[in-house]
């Protein structure tokens, strides 16, 4: 699998990977995640936001629920022994807020790097950090 990310994340990850002498990133088109090797992330210190939040209790707005409202998504494997789960704003991450901030940062990045000729909705495949 190959993730795509916004330019602000892509160029930050690419630059850090290029500077990191100890990393040997590899990409496998047949892996669940292309940067996994022997179940370990080969770009772990610089992984994108979606990877950093994987498994955490995340809050999202759901229009399709009745009534519409916030819902919590989480990896059940991380909470197998938890009894009476009570997710609150104190122990969850509101991904709508995080994604809105990332979108603002991305727009600023694109405006400051007009030579890249990117649009706010542009996505770049993560595997391209190896090019």
Domain boundaries defined on the chain: 4-130
**What integer pLDDT is reported at residue 82 of this predicted model?**
67
pLDDT in tens, 68-120: 788 888 888 888 776 677 888 888 999 999 999 999 999 999 999 999 999 99
Q: What is the pTM of this model?
A: 0.84
Dihedral sign from CA coordinates of 96, 99, 104, 110: negative
Angle, alpha carbons 34-112-96 (nearest 5°): 55
Q: If residue 93 lies in a helix (H) or strand (E), which one and from where to where? A: strand 93-94
Other beta carbons within 10 angstroms of residue 13's beta carbon come to 20
pLDDT at residue 99 in the model: 94
Q: Please give the C-alpha separations between residue 59 and each of 50, 79, 90, 116, in angstroms, as whole numbers.
A: 14, 16, 11, 33
Whose CA is closest to 17, among 43, 38, 35, 40? 43
pLDDT band at 63 (very low <50, low <70, confident <90, very high): confident
Burial string for 100-110 (b: 16+ CB within 10 Å, else e) reads: eebeeebeebb
Provide mean pLDDT across the span 1-29: 91
């Amino acid at each position: 699998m190959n993730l795509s990310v916004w330019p602000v994340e892509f160029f930050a990850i690419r630059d850090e990977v290029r500077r990191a002498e100890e990393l040997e990133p590899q990409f496998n088109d047949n892996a669940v995640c292309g940067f996994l090797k022997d179940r370990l992330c080969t770009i772990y210190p610089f992984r994108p936001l979606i990877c950093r939040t994987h498994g955490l209790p995340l809050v999202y707005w759901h229009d399709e629920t009745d009534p519409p409202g916030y819902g919590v998504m989480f990896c059940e494997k991380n909470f197998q022994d938890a009894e009476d789960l009570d997710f609150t704003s104190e122990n969850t991450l509101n991904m709508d807020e995080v994604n809105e901030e990332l979108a603002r940062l991305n727009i600023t990045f694109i405006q400051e790097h007009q030579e890249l000729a990117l649009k706010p909705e542009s996505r770049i495949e993560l595997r391209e950090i190896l090019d």
